[in-house]
Amino acid sequence: MKKISVSDLLANKIYEEQRTAFRQSIMEHKKTRRVQIGPNMMLHFEDYMVMRYQVQELMRTEKLIEKEDIIEELSAYNPLIPDGTNLKATMMLEYPNPEERQQRLKQLIGVEELISIEIEGHDKVYPIANEDLPRSTNEKTSAVHFLRFEFNDEAIDSAKSGANWYIHSEHLSYQHTRGPVERQITQSLVRDFS
């Protein structure tokens, strides 16, 4: 999948003029890239469009205009874009009550390694989690994790042919399965395999 280059980005003034339409478009797109797993876990699957929007918003907020500063930000955001054989997701554990969140994050250490994507007819694929830095300690896990799921050619072919997808959380303290995942979502995610 294409990575973001400086030439793909709008100058802040032009982006500001188009921001409302841009945001509306990306919010619709994101609906096809989110999967709720049980009541408290959300996977947000990243791609070029989502990351480009994030960079545009960052440039706007931070008033970035220097090419060197933008290139530095792209070095952080481009790795989150899928590479053609994988899916990349931000996993969020959502507990609105702070006391409950604190307690649950203590119980969910290692949950990020026990998420799997199953394309029907193939083995489950477990993620490579938090490649940038560790987000769990012996005391608790983080509410946010970054996951990369690597697929073989056979599973990708099945996904492109319309096989059902299932996403599992297999942690003893958070066991949930979502699936078959809605076609609108799987069709969006299959585009990452290019």
The pLDDT of residue 28 is above 90:
yes
| pLDDT tens column, 67-89 | 999 999 999 999 999 999 999 99
Considering the entire predicted model, what is its pTM? 0.92
List CB contacts of 75: < 8 A, sequence separation 6 or more: none
CB 91 within 8 A of CB 144: yes
The pLDDT of residue 1 is above 90:
no
| pLDDT tens column, 29-82 | 999 999 999 999 999 999 999 999 999 999 999 999 999 999 999 999 999 999
Measured CA to CA, the distance from residue 86 to residue 119 in angstroms comes to 13
List CB contacts of 176: < 8 A, sequence separation 6 or more: 37, 38, 41, 168, 169
Opening angle at CA 96, ends 43 and 48, nearest 5: 25
Ramachandran angles phi, psi of 110, nearest 5°: 85, 0
The H-or-E segment that residue 61 falls in is helix 48-62
Residue 74 C-alpha from the chain's centroid: 17
